[in-house]
Structure 1
């Protein structure tokens, strides 16, 4: 799930934000009244209120949001994982949420046993093409990756036993299972991928002034404390 904010900064206040995010059930989605709801949407809406930002949150595909954040001055994107490559593209600010990453298998697959990361390389793993977890596993020398355009495709392959594992953020997995009408009792954690950074950040276009980023950081501290997760 992913957001962008475009803004102008005048003296001591922030104005004229454009906020963009990807739809993810439970985290950010459009409610019955047409307004954004969800755990992260609530945090962003409180941030908007505290900083007197009038613009509503808009929903866009992540790939589009990611490109806008790089190319358009005065933008903010979140939640986004931090990597050395991305630190060259954005100014990272603060943690918006954190969650561990796991390899999941069907509970009935007693033939799958993983005690080390090397063990996992024996099994096929469903990943979203060009997702941060895809790139991480590639960097860890995994060669058995099943690339898909969406997590829904990965779930279908997993349930159909056309792949052995999927990799997912535990914070997002439950909402995705609900979205795709999959019983969460069918899956279980096979291995915690401790190499994956659990933090998801707010980050800014490189042209955003540091003083504006500090205002966002200060306001978010009053809303969310990642040390309590």
Structure 2
């Protein structure tokens, strides 16, 4: 009887070990959007997967996951609001890059910072507009990106911007006189404008400073967050992050 029980226990332990070893590694499903130069589809399309996605943040995130030994999928989608909603609702999903604001702090787990994103008002180079405060921008027609944290910030200051589905559309709106100011990120705004063939812009003012992060669903395994943060910190200490920025500028 004892031999039978011992054999049974041994078999159960072996089965458990085999089953555990057979479990797939933790996989994170990453989402992003066209936000040059940080992340973008190589041909400018609004949908892309894996090797068809490039950019500063894309390269950094790939290396982070490689160093941490965590499997992932990578998909670029449109519009941003859809991407944002998926990360809020689905476990094992993350999005990059995202500004880390007080309103968003408790909604996600964060890895970063990956890069800077100053908030600026851009205008045509021949514009006479000057701003001494953020409130003064409310006197003008301001363009921004629908669903973006910059748009949310302006609305909290009683400024209702004219929003676009793609941030680069605001470059053309400026040149056509449809808006007076473009509230966007720097360096992203200037990079987007250049892609649209618009170069004669000037910075009227800088009204905030934000850092960009990888945001993960709040229910994701804490160990994943720790491993990714450690990988990013090591890259920063070794001076590798600057190399990724230099590649695109």
TM-score of the superposition, structure 1-length normalised?
A: 0.81
Greater Cα shift, 213-222 or 15-24: 15-24
**Structure 1 unaligned residues grouped into runs of 5+:** 1-9
1:214 aligns with 2:231: no
Query: What is aligned with 1:167?
Result: 183
SS at match of 2:101: coil
| Mapping 1:73-222, distance limit 5 Å | 73-110=91-128, 112-143=129-160, 145-182=161-198, 184=199, 186-194=200-208, 197-222=209-234
Assess, with a 3 A threshold, how the Cα gap between structure 1 residues 30 and 150 changes in structure 2: closer, same or farther: closer
Aligned alpha-carbon RMSD (Å): 2.7
Assess, with a 3 A threshold, how the Cα gap between structure 1 residues 30 and 147 changes in structure 2: closer, same or farther: closer
Structure with the greater alpha carbon radius of gyration: 2
Query: Equivalents in 2 of 1:142, 1:24: separation in Å?
Result: 23
Per-residue displacement from partner, 1:101-141 (whole Å, max 9, x unpaired)? 1101111112x121222322221111122221111011112
Query: What is aligned with 1:50?
Result: 67
Tell me the number of residue pairs that the alignment of Structure 1 and Structure 2 aligns: 212
Q: Is the 8 A contact 2:38 2:56 kept in 1?
A: yes
**Structure 2 unaligned residues grouped into runs of 5+:** 1-20, 44-49
SS at match of 1:102: strand
SS at match of 2:235: coil
Q: Is the 8 A contact 2:111 2:214 kept in 1?
A: yes
Instruction: Give 1:17's match in structure 2, choosing from 28, 34, 43.
Output: 28
Compare the two structures and name the one with the higher helix fraction. 2
